[in-house]
């Protein structure tokens, strides 16, 4: 049974663009080899962190949405734990299909709630 997952990980801000692409390709390939499908990778870019992590105030965010049976998660999270370029990661099981930033921009604006509702 396939579930929808969202993986968000933060890379060190002092690595180059080439290393960012290598990391995103590495984890995408790792997911593909373990049987995940519908893999969508978005490099969100460098952002300011809410609090310092390992003495870094900024980080490069990467979001990955995919469908899998869950057996893949332990493998890539273990790899991220030992990868010095990854300063934080989180995998979430999603209830519904993911809404990516590009899709959200195309959606019509929602109506504001009526007062007193």
pLDDT by residue (tens digit) across 2-54?
889 999 999 999 999 999 999 999 999 999 998 888 989 999 999 999 999 99
- The rounded distance, in Å, linking the Cα atoms of 76 and 110 is 37
Return the domain boundaries, the chain.
Answer: 3-92
Q: Please report which residue ranges of the chain form alpha helices under DSSP H.
A: 17-33, 72-82, 101-106
CATH topology of domain 3-92: Alpha-Beta Plaits (3.30.70)
Please count the other Cβ atoms lying within 10 Å of the Cβ belonging to residue 48.
8
- The rounded distance, in Å, linking the Cα atoms of 65 and 85 is 20
Residue 74's pLDDT is: 87
Asked whether the whole model's pTM tops 0.85, one would answer: no
Report the pLDDT averaged over residues 74-103.
83
């Amino acid at each position: 049974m396939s579930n929808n997952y969202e993986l968000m990980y933060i890379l060190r801000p002092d690595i180059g663009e080439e290393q960012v692409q290598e990391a995103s390709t590495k984890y995408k390939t790792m997911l593909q080899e373990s049987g995940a499908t519908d893999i969508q990778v978005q490099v969100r870019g460098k952002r300011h962190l809410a609090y310092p992590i390992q003495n870094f105030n900024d980080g490069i965010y990467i979001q990955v949405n995919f469908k899998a049976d869950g057996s893949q998660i332990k493998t890539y999270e273990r790899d991220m734990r030992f990868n010095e370029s990854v300063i934080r990661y989180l995998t979430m099981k999603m209830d519904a299909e993911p809404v990516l930033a590009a899709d959200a921009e195309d959606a019509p604006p929602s109506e504001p709630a009526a007062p007193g509702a």
